[in-house]
Structure 1
Amino acid sequence: MSRKSFSISNLLSLLVLLICMITATAQDFTILSSCQSHCGGIAIPYPFGIGKGCYLNNNEWYEVICNQTSGKPVPILNSINKELVDISLPDELSSNSFGLIRIKNPVTSLGCSNKEQLSLALNVTGRPFFLTGRNTLVAVGCNNKVLMTDVKSHIGGCESTCDVGSGQRGQNISCDGYRCCQAKIPSDRLQQIDIKIESLGGNTTKSAGCRVAFLTNEAYSPSNITEPELFYDKGYSTVELGWFIYRLRNMSVDTSCYSIIEGTSGWGYSNYESCICRYGKYLERSYRSCMCNGGYRGNPYLSSGCIDIDECEEAKAEGRNPCGKGYDCENIQGNLSCRKKSKTLAIILGICLGFGLLVIAIGAWCLYKFIRKQREMKRKKFLELNGGLLLQENFMSNEGNVKKTRVSSSKELEKATENCGGKPGDEVSELEWEKTAKYEI
Structure 2
Amino acid sequence: MSYENTNCSFFLNLFKLLLLLIFYSADPCQRECGGIAIPYPFGIGKDCYLEKYYEIECRITTSRKLVPFLSVISKEVVSISLPSAESHFAYTITDQDRHESFGLVRVKFPITSTGCFSDGKESAGGLKMNFTDTPFFIGSTNSLIAVGCNSKVSLMYIKPNMVGCELSCNTSKDSHSNSIPFVETGCSSNVLSYSQDQGCTEETPEETGCNGNGCCQANLPNEPQQVIGIRTESNDGNSTTKVPCTVAFLTDEIFTSPNAIKREHLLAKRYATVSIGWVIQTKNNSFFNSLACKNREYYRNTSYFVEPEGKCTCARITISELSYANCGCTYGYTGNPYILDGCKDIDECKVKYEYCKETDTCVNLEGSYRCVGDKTRAIMIGAGAGFGVLVLVGGVWWLRKFLIKRRMTKRKKKFFKRNGGLLLQQELNTREGNVEKTRIFNSRELEKATENFSENRVLGQGGQGTVYKGMLVDGRTVAVKKSKVIDEDKLQEFINEVVILSQINHRHVVKLLGCCLETEVPILVYEFIINGNLFQQIHDKESDDYTMVWGMRLRIAVDIAGALSYLHSAASSPIYHRDIKSTNILLDEKYRAKVADFGTSRSVTIDQTHWTTIISGTVGYVDPEYYRSSQYTEKSDVYSFGVILAELITGEKPVIMVQNTQEIIALAEHFRLSMKEKRFSDIMDARIRDDCRPEQVMAVAKLAMKCLSSKGKNRPNMREAFTELERICTSPEDSQVQNRIDEEEEEEEEEEVVTTINRGDSWSIGVTAPAFSIVASPPSSDVEPLFPRLTW
Q: Mark yes or no: TM-score above 0.5.
A: yes
Corresponding residue of 2:374:
341
Tell whether the 8 Å contact from 2:139 to 2:224 is kept in structure 1 after alignment: yes
Q: Secondary structure at the match of 2:129?
A: strand
Corresponding residue of 2:41:
47
Corresponding residue of 2:705:
none
* Alpha-carbon distance, 1:179 to partner: 0.6
2:313 aligned with 1:311: no
Corresponding residue of 2:133:
126
Corresponding residue of 1:85:
78
How many angstroms apart in 2 are the aligned matches of 1:127 and 1:303? 24
Tell whether the 8 Å contact from 1:31 to 1:46 is kept in structure 2 after alignment: no
Corresponding residue of 2:247:
212
Corresponding residue of 1:259:
295
How many angstroms apart in 1 are the aligned matches of 2:159 and 2:346? 44
Corresponding residue of 2:275:
240
Corresponding residue of 1:290:
327
How many angstroms apart in 2 are the aligned matches of 1:30 and 1:261? 32
How many angstroms apart in 1 are the aligned matches of 2:233 and 2:130? 21
* Alpha-carbon distance, 1:332 to partner: 1.2
Tell whether the 8 Å contact from 2:139 to 2:221 is kept in structure 1 after alignment: no
Matches within 5 A, 1:122-161: 122-152=129-159, 154-161=161-168
Tell whether the 8 Å contact from 1:174 to 1:222 is kept in structure 2 after alignment: no
Tell whether the 8 Å contact from 1:217 to 1:240 is kept in structure 2 after alignment: yes
Q: Secondary structure at the match of 1:294?
A: coil
Tell whether the 8 Å contact from 2:205 to 2:211 is kept in structure 1 after alignment: no
With 62-71 and 93-102 compared, the bigger mean Cα shift is at: 93-102
Gapped runs of 5+ residues in structure 2? 1-22, 89-99, 178-203, 395-792
Tell whether the 8 Å contact from 2:232 to 2:243 is kept in structure 1 after alignment: no
Matches within 5 A, 1:44-123: 44-56=38-50, 59-70=51-62, 71-95=64-88, 96-113=100-117, 114=119, 115-118=121-124, 119-123=126-130
How many angstroms apart in 2 are the aligned matches of 1:337 and 1:263? 23
Q: Choose from 354, 361, 364 the match for 1:331.
A: 364
CA gap 1:200/1:322 in 2 versus in 1, 3 angstroms: closer
Q: What value does the CA root-mean-square deviation take over the aligned residues? A: 3.4
* Alpha-carbon distance, 1:186 to partner: 4.7
Q: Choose from 175, 185, 197 the match for 2:232.
A: 197
CA gap 1:251/1:268 in 2 versus in 1, 3 angstroms: farther
CA gap 1:230/1:209 in 2 versus in 1, 3 angstroms: farther
Tell whether the 8 Å contact from 1:147 to 1:158 is kept in structure 2 after alignment: yes
Q: Choose from 210, 215, 218 the match for 1:183.
A: 218
CA gap 1:211/1:223 in 2 versus in 1, 3 angstroms: same
Q: Secondary structure at the match of 2:265?
A: helix
For these two proteins, the number of residue pairs brought into alignment is 324
Tell whether the 8 Å contact from 1:295 to 1:309 is kept in structure 2 after alignment: yes
More helix per residue: 2
Q: Residue by residue, what CA displacement relative to the aligned partner does 1:248-288 show, whole Å, maximum 9, x if unpaired?
A: 15565303211122992466853542111112333332211
How many angstroms apart in 1 are the aligned matches of 2:334 and 2:205? 48
Matches within 5 A, 1:328-407: 328-342=361-375, 343-351=377-385
Q: Secondary structure at the match of 2:349?
A: helix
Q: Secondary structure at the match of 2:140?
A: coil
Q: Secondary structure at the match of 1:112?
A: coil
How many angstroms apart in 2 are the aligned matches of 1:263 and 1:228? 48
CA gap 1:106/1:314 in 2 versus in 1, 3 angstroms: same
CA gap 1:233/1:284 in 2 versus in 1, 3 angstroms: same
With 350-359 and 172-181 compared, the bigger mean Cα shift is at: 350-359
CA gap 1:225/1:241 in 2 versus in 1, 3 angstroms: same
Corresponding residue of 1:416:
none
User: Which amino acid is 2:153 matched to?
Assistant: V
CA gap 1:91/1:356 in 2 versus in 1, 3 angstroms: closer
How many angstroms apart in 2 are the aligned matches of 1:310 and 1:346? 27
Tell whether the 8 Å contact from 2:114 to 2:243 is kept in structure 1 after alignment: no
Corresponding residue of 2:32:
38
CA gap 1:270/1:117 in 2 versus in 1, 3 angstroms: same
User: Which amino acid is 1:277 matched to?
Assistant: C
Tell whether the 8 Å contact from 2:69 to 2:75 is kept in structure 1 after alignment: yes
Tell whether the 8 Å contact from 1:172 to 1:222 is kept in structure 2 after alignment: no
Tell whether the 8 Å contact from 1:139 to 1:213 is kept in structure 2 after alignment: yes
CA gap 1:268/1:227 in 2 versus in 1, 3 angstroms: closer
How many angstroms apart in 1 are the aligned matches of 2:261 and 2:134? 36
Tell whether the 8 Å contact from 1:258 to 1:269 is kept in structure 2 after alignment: no
How many angstroms apart in 2 are the aligned matches of 1:171 and 1:137? 17
With 161-170 and 91-100 compared, the bigger mean Cα shift is at: 161-170
User: Which amino acid is 1:161 matched to?
Assistant: S
Q: Choose from 169, 176, 180 the match for 1:167.
A: 176
Q: Secondary structure at the match of 2:267?
A: helix
Max Rg structure: 1
* Alpha-carbon distance, 1:32 to partner: 6.3
How many angstroms apart in 2 are the aligned matches of 1:202 and 1:287? 41
Q: Residue by residue, what CA displacement relative to the aligned partner does 1:111-140 show, whole Å, maximum 9, x if unpaired?
A: 332212111111111100111112211100
How many angstroms apart in 1 are the aligned matches of 2:279 and 2:292? 18
CA gap 1:332/1:225 in 2 versus in 1, 3 angstroms: same
* Alpha-carbon distance, 1:347 to partner: 1.2
More strand per residue: 1
How many angstroms apart in 1 are the aligned matches of 2:25 and 2:319? 28
Q: Residue by residue, what CA displacement relative to the aligned partner does 1:189-239 show, whole Å, maximum 9, x if unpaired?
A: 010111122233399xxx986420001122346735442121011011111
Gapped runs of 5+ residues in structure 1? 1-28, 361-441
User: Which amino acid is 1:80 matched to?
Assistant: I
How many angstroms apart in 2 are the aligned matches of 1:263 and 1:341? 35
With 339-348 and 116-125 compared, the bigger mean Cα shift is at: 339-348
Corresponding residue of 1:368:
none
With 330-339 and 170-179 compared, the bigger mean Cα shift is at: 170-179
How many angstroms apart in 2 are the aligned matches of 1:187 and 1:171? 23
How many angstroms apart in 2 are the aligned matches of 1:257 and 1:223? 46
TM-score, normalisation: structure 1? 0.65
Tell whether the 8 Å contact from 1:312 to 1:330 is kept in structure 2 after alignment: yes
* Alpha-carbon distance, 1:293 to partner: 1.2
